[in-house]
Structure 1
Amino acid sequence: MPKPPAWAIRAALALALAPPLAAGAGGAAAQQVPELASTDRLRVCADPANMPFSDKAGEGFENKIAAIVADELKRPLRFFWVPQGPGAVRNSLGSGLCDVIIGYASGADIVQHSNPYYRSAYVLVVKAGGPLDGVDRLEDPRLQGHRLGVIAATPPADHLLRLGLTAEAKTYALLVDRRSDSPAEEALADLAAGTVDGVILWGPIGGYFSKKAAVPLKVTPLVKETERPALSFRITFGIRAGEIQWKHKLNDVIRKRRADIEAVLTSYGVPLVPDDGRLDESERDRPVRVDEGQ
């Protein structure tokens, strides 16, 4: 895992683990709360070891996007390192330590959201040219009898349970110390070795690490499922509730620098899907821009 996602889909985890921000009141009352956002620098809270999103070396795509935002605002960029986990939002945005988290799944009430700057989906990763190459939905009967790898407690796990695919599935830990463990890389190594026949990962993670795999892999966004839970998510900048002017500034940056942001995402292998979460056949092999009007 929508930061968004400890995993890419961060919204679900944040709602479960972190308390609401003190400035959580909405509407007119929230607009009367003085904004805490710095006006002389861009203060970003990020995980120090969570590739491909961010790391201390500045090699994650959220590091690069933060630099784009700072450039557009003409402000120096300052990172504050806050590992994901219980209380991460409270200890970062809520404490006034920083003013923005670059990646957050839209719909999580614990933060106020900017407009989305991309939308992605969980992906099925299989060996290119293998027996599952061409499968584009978990409901495909060709998956029956095959062993799939899935991150525990993520939305695809619910689909596997519904479809009777869990008996053979191999699960990988959701909450780990990313300084020493990487469930996605472990799962893809198992795929290369033939321990599993396919792996389901949050798109930015699957796309990035598949490019580094020992064997050629096929990455397919799962945008054709007919049942919930949803497998595609809008990703936004997460900020404190009530900071309306700051939200407008960030929305302006997203609008003006959309092409630059998308170029970064594409270079990291992030699968981009349109706002309805579905891909036409003509769109399947190219990145698609999120609609401007969101």
Structure 2
Amino acid sequence: MGLCAAVNTALAGLLVVLVAGGTTAAAPPALRVCADPNNLPFSNARGEGFENRLAELLARELGARLEYTWSAQRRGFLRNTLEAGACDVLLGVPVGFDPVLVTRPYYRSTYVFAWRRDRALDIRSLDDPRLRGLRVGVQLIGNDGVNTPPAHALSRRGIVDNVRGFSVYADYAQPNPPARILDALIAGEIDVAVVWGPLAGYFALRLPAPLALAPVTPAADPPGLRFAFAMAAGVRRDDVALRDGLQAALDRRADDVRAILDAYGVPRAAEPPR
């Protein structure tokens, strides 16, 4: 073989090695998160929610690239995302939600009363007699308008005719559908709202009229109703390794998780007595 042929052969071999090395270099693993593209303060397609921020934090900590499967959190959300294998992680899952395997909770929040500060209502209890004469807004869940715990609690007390329900789904063509109840509060269409804390805390910082918030008391309304819930990350029930990896990441970055929740105004509830 002549010198030129030998050089060409060597260069060809080097090219094969370089190309092969490029094609076999392992890409970072993906952290595939199921999320709603229009559900602030939790998540949106622009990555502006606190669950987006948490997902980014977890992906960095795990050395993974973040991928989303977007789906509106309505009936069939779990079936069409996590259970279908389209994604692997749900954030903001209530502890005790049986279809998924969860981490330990990374926050615990509660339903709150919300009112305009210029009304100076200072309502803190479901047993406050003023609730019988005020226009009260409550959240409803599901296409069939399933009542939330505060709605059931008010009904138990005979507070019904002056209560207005707001679906957390609302008009999905508009931004942030769950916030309609707070828009109504600002507009003076209702006097007080009973709202899931993270939603109220976020928009209280951003709406044009200042809002006051107070946790719903009592913290539970036996039998069967509670107003505070511990929230965790969830995976498929057989995905123990991923759950454990997420838990380790949450433990290592606990201070950062708290900082994110604080930045979004998420009210935290104390752990119940054991």
2:129 aligned to 141, 147, 170, which one?
A: 141
1:62 aligned to 30, 48, 51, which one?
A: 51
Alignment match, 2:162: 168
Partner SS for 2:243: helix
Equivalent positions of 1:1-294 (< 5 A) are 40-133=29-122, 135-152=123-140, 153-180=147-174, 182=176, 184-228=178-222, 229-276=225-272
RMSD: 2.0
Question: What is the CA deviation profile of residues 73-112 of structure 1, one whole-angstrom value per residue up to 9, with x for unaligned ones?
Answer: 1111111112222322122111222110111111111111
Alpha-carbon separation, structure 2, partners of 1:236 and 1:226: 20
Compare the two structures and name the one with the higher helix fraction.
Answer: 2
Q: Is residue 151–residue 183 contact of structure 1 (8 Å, CA) maintained in 2? A: no
CA 1:178 to 1:275, structure 2 compared with 1: closer, same or farther past 3 Å?
farther
CA 1:184 to 1:55, structure 2 compared with 1: closer, same or farther past 3 Å?
closer
Q: Which amino acid aligns with 1:172?
A: F
- For structure 1, which runs of at least 5 residues remain unmatched after alignment? 1-37, 278-294
Alpha-carbon separation, structure 2, partners of 1:226 and 1:85: 26
Alpha-carbon separation, structure 1, partners of 2:168 and 2:180: 12
- For structure 2, which runs of at least 5 residues remain unmatched after alignment? 1-26, 141-146
Alignment match, 1:35: none
Deviation at 1:176, TM superposition (A): 3.1
Q: Which amino acid aligns with 2:247?
A: N
Compare the two structures and name the one with the higher strand fraction.
Answer: 2
Q: Is residue 168–residue 178 contact of structure 2 (8 Å, CA) maintained in 1? A: no
Q: Is residue 34–residue 81 contact of structure 2 (8 Å, CA) maintained in 1? A: yes
Query: Percent of counterpart pairs with the same letter?
Result: 37
Partner SS for 2:221: coil
Deviation at 1:125, TM superposition (A): 0.2
Q: Which amino acid aligns with 1:155?
A: P
Q: With the length of structure 2 as denominator, give the TM-score of the two structures.
A: 0.81
CA 1:160 to 1:253, structure 2 compared with 1: closer, same or farther past 3 Å?
same
Q: With the length of structure 1 as denominator, give the TM-score of the two structures.
A: 0.76
